[in-house]
Amino acid sequence: MVGDPDAELLLAFQRGDAAAFRTLFERHARAMVAFCNHFVRNPARAEELAQDVFLKLHQAAPRYQPTARFKTFLYRIASNHCLNELRRGEQAARRDARARPDDEPEDLDALPGSAPTPEQEAAGGALARAVEVLLDRLPEKQRVAFVLCRFQGLSYEEIAAALDTSVPAVKSLIHRATVTAAEALAPFAPGGEVLS
């Protein structure tokens, strides 16, 4: 797609410029790890999945046609890979979640700044667990569309291309996921009390 610098880099890689692929990796690796982590909630496994996604991108590069933005192409690969991972490992993930003690702290990419109060820390942990439960309960397509929209910032058009579906279907998926999220996360709304 003309005007998309990432698409130009992938086309340069097609022509033999290995540095172009390294640049793409450097630009998108962190976002890809974060995207994968929304599915597996294990930073080490998310890094492995992100590496798998870039390996698949490397393998698919010769077939790339710049008919859509590069980001759309990348997230299509990532979405398919994460959905396959979910399908393969859903039962194992459930066993792992049941085996993890409730009081085990999780590293949730704390932001730099002043240290939170114990109350803020408890509320943040409760919210993080509620989001995890929410994502686990969403049907696969809703989960992917919701994560791509709310966490990765893709447009409806980009999500539709990544999921190989229509924009109205994406709007419907995101709407249903958002309604479910609003209900599940209502106790955490400003002025609301966090349920224990």
> Are 155 and 79 part of one and the same domain?
no
Tokens of 171: 């709007």
pLDDT at 138: 86
> Are 31 and 84 part of one and the same domain?
yes
Residue 106 within any structural domain of the chain: no
Cβ atoms 24, 9 nearer than 8 A: yes
pLDDT at 109: 47
Residue 49 within any structural domain of the chain: yes
Cβ burial of 88 (10 Å; 0-12, 13-18, 19+) is exposed
Residue 112 within any structural domain of the chain: no
pLDDT at 106: 47
> Are 142 and 195 part of one and the same domain?
yes
> Are 17 and 79 part of one and the same domain?
yes
> Are 82 and 9 part of one and the same domain?
yes
Residue 34 within any structural domain of the chain: yes
Please give the tally of structural domains in the chain.
Answer: 2
Query: With a cut of 50, which residues of the chain have pLDDT below it?
Result: 103-112, 194-196
The residue among 99, 132, 150 that closes a domain is 99
Q: Which pTM was predicted?
A: 0.66
Residues spanned by the domain of 179: 117-196
